[in-house]
Amino acid sequence: MSVVLNFKSHIAELFSQALSKVAPDHADVAVLIERPKLASHGDYACNLAMQLAKPLKKSPREIAQLLIAALPKSDVIEKIEIAGAGFINLVLTEAAKQQIVHAVLYAGAGYGHIHLGTGRSVQVEFVSANPTGPLHVGHGRGAAVGDCLCNVLHAAGWNVTREFYYNDAGAQIDNLMRSVRLRCKGITPEDPSWPEDGYRGDYIADVARAYMDRETVEADDQHIKGEGDPDDEEAIRRFAVAYLRREQDLDLRAFNVEFDVFSLESQLYRDGHVENVVKQLIASGHTFEKDNALWLRTTDFGDDKDRVMKKSDGGYTYFVPDVAYHLEKWKRGFVRVVNEQGADHHSTITRVRAGLQALNAGIPKGWPEYVLHQMVTVLKNGEEVKISKRAGSYVTLRDLIDEVGCDATRYFLAARHPDSQLVFDIDLAKSKSNDNPVYYIQYAHARISTVLEIWGGERLSLLNADVSLLDGEYEIALLQHLIDYPQVIENAALDLAPHHVAFYLKELAATFHSYYNASRFLVDDEATKCARLALIAAAAQVMKNGLALLGISAPEKM
């Protein structure tokens, strides 16, 4: 029997071949293969006959019969039935399911990887925090979701570029400079002269101290030295931004997040990209002047009202450099771009897309794509935590990492749909109990490692295990979960939703724990023992693969 790595793709290919015979004029119809909600309906279902009924002017059941008759032979399919109005239900052979054990063990870390992206490029921008302070838990959620999304897209066959965009220009940077300058002069936030919009966290004092001590900080390939002059605003601005960029980078490294590209808003101004975009928008005929300001007629592209581009004081509104930045992404060849941002950026989506459409640069509608995450509430001892002494007014990402560890922080921040509000319970994240999903999943992997260590045999020998012996209730359930893993990656990549992987791992761990509690693995019968060990070794491999997508370790001991 041939070993199949992805049953859904295999079945879809069979139906594509049947379609080309039954309806060659409609061979481009998408073939959708799904898992039925009820196990009694089989392992997979296809609604292709329903899709073809109208164009072929035949009943779905008649078309279903023709498709079944045209299906190429496959030794993984045991039974095919027509159900209801014309659904085609398929049952896999038990032997095919059992062979997934060998498929996983052979593929190792590559099991589950699919070719959805076919090597095409995608740029994912995430975090993109203003360099005005430590990363807060909202940035942490963006980092977790964005990084896991990059891992999922890579596993789905995309060539991924990770990018961080620094908003290092504008009013917030001016506030940062003024706050550091006051600290350099010995003025604290308690002083009546402290500006209302000044930054109050202890980190401002750290920046001021480093600047006055003439320390050197590195940001990318730049080395910025503190001048020690409390009146040199430009020097303070450069140093403060570099210092906080370095601090944010250290936080991200502690979170196991790295980027391929860093882009700066200030660079867009220095290189003239912002001015050029404004000129292009004026030339496009979609701008107008009113109240001494320059406006973009975004209503031409679906916005509810037109937007100011250039204010009466000569400054640009924040979406203008965003348009310039995304035009540069397009020029760099990124036909697909995904931005992971906080939900507070929702209002900018229409404006940025309208600006890009107005440029007449060939950029398609709906570009770029967006994944928006909701806010995070942090609980400790049942009460909300709002303030970090270092940040002054919010809980930092480093606070969570120091409190519960990187693994738990990543899982909890990525384990729910980004569009849902998230409660991060510190006590739960630290607990060593089955209620803590991170502990529950990692404990399953460690349990398997312990069993294999006690066995002490050569793991390569498990490739020869007689998997036909895996026919018990718990074994079949575990086999089905292993089969589902490539589909989980596909769904997560299509939905831009890495939380699918987190949900799957929790279910896989639960299925294993049930098997562990109901069975013995190191039995006297050698064939049975090797078959069961091969199964749990495959389960451990899939757990490790899935945890890697979430950026979480797979410990062998706990």
The two structure tokens encoding residue 75: 């030794």
Domain ranges of the chain: 7-92, 104-113+434-549, 171-259
Residue 388 has pLDDT above 80, yes or no: no
Amino acid type, 319: F
The two structure tokens encoding residue 432: 């060593």
pLDDT tens for each residue of 482-510:
999 999 999 999 999 999 999 999 999 99
CA of 516: how far to CAs of 390, 448, 522, 532, in Å? 46, 9, 11, 10
Pick 42 or 161 by higher pLDDT.
Answer: 161
Among 170-174, 254-258, 269-273, the range scoring the smallest mean pLDDT is 170-174
Largest Cα–Cα separation, the chain: 88
pLDDT above 90 as % of the chain: 90
Residue 392 has pLDDT above 80, yes or no: no
Residue 159 has pLDDT above 80, yes or no: yes
- For residue 1, name the pLDDT band (cuts at 50, 70, 90): low
pLDDT tens for each residue of 312-341:
998 899 899 999 999 999 999 999 999 999
Query: What is the distance between the alpha carbons of residues 235 and 220, in angstroms, rounded to a whole number?
Result: 18
pLDDT at 291: 93
pLDDT at 2: 63
Query: What is the distance between the alpha carbons of residues 379 and 410, in angstroms, rounded to a whole number?
Result: 16
Fold of 7-92: Gyrase A; domain 2 (3.30.1360)
Q: Is the peptide bond before 368 cis (omega within 30 degrees of 0)?
A: yes
| Residue whose C-alpha is closest to residue 52's, from 11, 74, 8, 20 | 20
Residue 394 has pLDDT above 90, yes or no: no
pLDDT tens for each residue of 338-357:
999 999 888 889 999 999 99
pLDDT at 389: 63
pLDDT tens for each residue of 417-448:
999 999 999 999 999 999 999 999 999 999 99
CATH of domain 104-113+434-549: 1.10.730.10
Q: Average pLDDT, stretch 109-115?
A: 96
Residue 199 has pLDDT above 70, yes or no: yes
pLDDT, averaged across the chain? 94
pLDDT at 344: 87
pLDDT tens for each residue of 367-384:
999 999 999 999 999 999
Interior CA angle at 514 toward 508 and 520, to 5°?
A: 115
